[in-house]
Amino acid sequence: MIVKQLKVGTMQNFVYLLADEASREAIAIDSGWETEPIARAAKGESMRVKYVVATHQHFDHTSTLNRLADELGAKSVVHENSPVEHDIAVKDGDFLRIGQGKVQVIHTPGHTEDSICLYDGENLFTGDTLFIGNCGRTDLPGGSMEKMFRSLHGVILRLPPQTVVYPGHDYGDVPYRKLGEEARLNPVLAAKGYDEFLKVP
Ligand SMILES: [Fe+2]
């Protein structure tokens, strides 16, 4: 798969294009700011975007989701718990197919009830569930520390250590990192148990 990471807007948001190399079919991940850089990048790489997927409902990830889908002739996709207008609702374990590749939807509540990660077997797009060096906030409506802990430790940390983590914001010292390394360096992942997780600043 081809991954293109783009930084957009005023809140250090990362959006992504994930494409099957042979067919050039692609998924755009998140769209909350200007659509032009994403559309331009897709065109420049000769990608045909089939789906525009929201990692969760917050405006900086979704406010131009449907506009981008319309512009690209794609379908907008959200988790079934999302209040955001959409063409397709997905749930945990569903797959989105691009060319010969398939991308798994992993439900990871904690930041919001509709938070999902997308996993193609090598790359993990974590939205605001997991950042480089921290995790997303749990004190906004729909947030839960307990669910965040379960999503991080019971779901994400079970993926192979060579998985590359691509977060929804550029908050870290690097823009992406391998999960195995992140598990050592990121205190929310390195915490041994829920009590220690709660003490991470
Ligand atoms: Fe968010």
Q: Separation of 129 CA from ligand 1 center, angstroms?
A: 8
* pLDDT, mean of residues 95-114: 97
- What DSSP assignment string belongs to 77-141? EEETT--S--SEEE-TT-EEEETTEEEEEEE-TTSSTT-EEEE-SSEEEEETTEETTEE--SSST
Q: Separation of 80 CA from ligand 1 center, angstroms?
A: 17
**8-60 per-position pLDDT tens digit:** 999 999 999 999 999 999 999 999 999 999 999 999 999 999 999 999 999 99
Q: What is the pLDDT of residue 201?
A: 85
Per-residue pLDDT for 75 more than 90? yes
Per-residue pLDDT for 93 more than 90? yes
Q: Separation of 47 CA from ligand 1 center, angstroms?
A: 27
Amino acid at 142: G
Per-residue pLDDT for 2 more than 90? yes
Q: Separation of 23 CA from ligand 1 center, angstroms?
A: 32
Q: Separation of 22 CA from ligand 1 center, angstroms?
A: 33
Question: Would you say domain 2-198 falls under CATH 3.90.1300.10?
Answer: no
Q: Separation of 55 CA from ligand 1 center, angstroms?
A: 9
**Antiparallel, parallel or unpaired: β 95-98 and 88-90:** unpaired
* pLDDT, mean of residues 170-184: 98
Q: Decide: pTM greater than 0.75.
A: yes
Q: Separation of 82 CA from ligand 1 center, angstroms?
A: 13
User: pLDDT averaged over the chain?
Assistant: 97
Q: Separation of 111 CA from ligand 1 center, angstroms?
A: 7
Q: Separation of 70 CA from ligand 1 center, angstroms?
A: 23
Q: Separation of 188 CA from ligand 1 center, angstroms?
A: 17
Beta-carbon count within 10 A of 3 CB: 16
Amino acid at 89: A
Q: What is the pLDDT of residue 189?
A: 98
Q: Separation of 107 CA from ligand 1 center, angstroms?
A: 15
Q: Separation of 31 CA from ligand 1 center, angstroms?
A: 12
Q: Separation of 56 CA from ligand 1 center, angstroms?
A: 7
Scored b (16 or more CB within 10 A) or e, 82-108 reads bebebeeebeeebebebbebebbbbbb
